[in-house]
Amino acid sequence: MGNALWPMLKACILTTIPLSIIAFILGIIVAFIVALMRLSNSKVLQAIAKFYVWIIRGTPLLVQLFIIFYGLPQFGIVLSPFVSASVGLIISQGAYNSEVIRAAIAAVPKGQWEAAHALNISRAQTIRYIIIPQAALIAVPSVGNYFISLTKDTSLCAVLTVKEIFQVARAQVANNFQPLWMYVEAGLIYLLLCTVLTFLQGALEKYLGKHNAVLAAANNAAKKS
């Protein structure tokens, strides 16, 4: 068992963690763009964003991965297993997190916009320094949960032969015929990884809470002056 644990830990460090981080960061960027499209005044942009979210949320991630890796080559688009997995996870995260971000931005009181306008703060500065920090605090719990789910969903990428934790565990089972222990060890690695992410999520929530408290105090001082 000890000899099998290291290959899974190595896969976690070299594949699972990088894949999760890449998919999460790029997925958040996609989600933010889609959320702004949903909140825009353009009916066309709203329709495109709604259609994208509808398609991705309405189909299984496993099917999306198969379409990207096995289906796109029919059109001459051949992607490596890692890139295919990244693309699939990115578009999935983009769809789910876009709804969280959209709701978080909409939840920020309109008075914040009005106060910023009264202080002659530009729209771009308002979004960057006032709206996004407050929306981030609202969105962090849900986005954090999606990140944890994303980390576990990387196990689905084993079907694309991506050498992440679960794929390595399957290979070890084929060698030593100990499925119980191999899959338990893989599960424990995922559990440890998700526990660390949960701790980091809590720390981020505390940081954003303090940041927003300072921001609120500054806004109150500006109004009084």
Structure confidence by residue, pLDDT tens digits, 176-216: 888 898 999 999 999 999 999 999 888 887 877 776 665 55
pLDDT digits (tens, 9 = 90+) for 102-160: 998 888 877 777 777 777 787 777 777 778 878 887 888 889 899 999 999 999 999 99
pTM assigned to the model: 0.84
Comparing CA positions, the residue from 42, 43, 25, 49 lying closest to residue 150 is 25
**Cβ-contact 148, 198 below 8 angstroms:** yes
Written as one letter, the residue type at 2 is: G
DSSP string covering 150-198, please? Answer: HHHHGGGGGGGT--SHHHHHHHHHHHH--HHHHHHHHHHHHHHHHHHHH
Domain 2-224: state its class. mainly alpha
Contacts of 46 (CB under 8 A, 6+ apart): 37, 38, 40
pLDDT for 106:
85
Radius of gyration of the chain (CA): 21
Percent of the chain with pLDDT over 70: 92
Contacts of 197 (CB under 8 A, 6+ apart): 144, 147, 148, 151
